[in-house]
Amino acid sequence: MKAIIWGSCGSLPSPASSSAIRQKVKNALWAARSEQFQSEKQVDDFLETLPHSTHGTYKANTSCVQIDAGTEDVILCDAGTGLRDYALTIPADAQPRTYHIFVSHLHWDHIQGFPFFSPAYVPENTIIFHGFHSSIESSIRKQMRAPYFPVPFEAMQASIEFDIQENGSNFDLNDVHIRTIKQEHPGDSWGYRFEHKNKSIVYSSDSEHGPESRNSDYPFIDFFNKADILIFDGQYTFEDANNSKRHWGHSDHITAVELAARAQVKQLVISHHEPSHGDLEIESLCAEAAAYRQEYNQQNTSKSKHAYPETITLAYDGLVIEA
């Protein structure tokens, strides 16, 4: 099973500006000033030695993650603008399919890609929204109404269904079992844990973890327990999450490490990046997270025990992570 990140930016799409791209090119050229490249492969190999912030960016599209469990049906989490980039990978002559979209909540950054989702305009396709907000259908329809969008929902010819469940419900899709949890976020949000053949991927976006997260019976410790991959909302700095942005519904990179360590998560993926943070700033938060991981494990793990999370990765659009 693998997770494919199609949208890692929180709140609104934030592609790199021309000046930011120019700075990246400048940094790369400067770093390469003493290299003698004989092939494009050597250039690619050299780029791999540079930080991701030099040759890429961490945030462009808003939330969308594909869970690839090898099923015929497609499994997606949220329908932010990353959904459109996913749709661009579908061949024009693709066989009709069923697309399942698990909705965390209805804030704009989690649904605004759907009007651009090309499979929704193909009559033979089926799209099923799964979630807990009774207003999923009306929200999806409303954002396509005039004057917000030129094409009405009714122009979508695929069969579009809405599977709305009560809090506490789980899902089964082919041989994938999906557990859920209600999260602290304005208007509520839900996290999803996908389990398949002894592997598990948790998608937990837009979720605040307040002081109660330090309790030993905090339910997220069980929900994240031994996950192979945890995709976590680390939008804020620890300082902001606990002070000026308390109750805004997001978490931070330090809390990400602490919960992942307690739950013995293997791969921690920090996502839903703050749009006002530059790529270097996001990398420095990740470096702080890595330092905290070491500090936390020195204090809480005896030498013989394994340290968690094994890896900390920053999400970016196009990242593929194997469980």
Binding test (CB under 5 A) with Zn ion, winner from 84, 100, 107, 253 = 107
State in angstroms the smallest separation of the CB of 251 from Zn ion. Answer: 12
Q: Half-sphere exposure of residue 282, counting CA atoms within 13 Å on the CB side? A: 30
Binding to Zn ion by CB under 5 A, coded x per residue (else -) over 109-148, reads x---------------------------------------
Site for Zn ion in 194-233 (CB under 5 A): 206
Residue 52 interacts with Zn ion (CB under 5 A)?
no
Between 62 and 98, whose beta carbon lies closer to Zn ion?
62
Distance CA 128, CA 314 (A): 29
**Position of minimal CB gap to Zn ion:** 107
Binding to Zn ion by CB under 5 A, coded x per residue (else -) over 56-95, reads ----------------------------------------
One-character DSSP codes across 158-210: SEEEEEE--TT--EEETTEEEEEEEEBSTT-EEEEEEEETTEEEEEE-S-B--
State in angstroms the smallest separation of the CB of 8 from Zn ion. Answer: 11
Binding to Zn ion by CB under 5 A, coded x per residue (else -) over 1-30, reads ---------x--------------------
Between 107 and 293, whose beta carbon lies closer to Zn ion?
107
Distance CA 253, CA 262 (A): 14
What strand order describes the sheet that includes 189-196?
171-173, 176-183, 189-196, 199-204, 229-233, 267-271, 311-314
- Token representation of residue 174: 């082919």
State in angstroms the smallest separation of the CB of 131 from Zn ion. Answer: 13
Residues that bind Zn ion (CB under 5 A): 10, 107, 109, 206
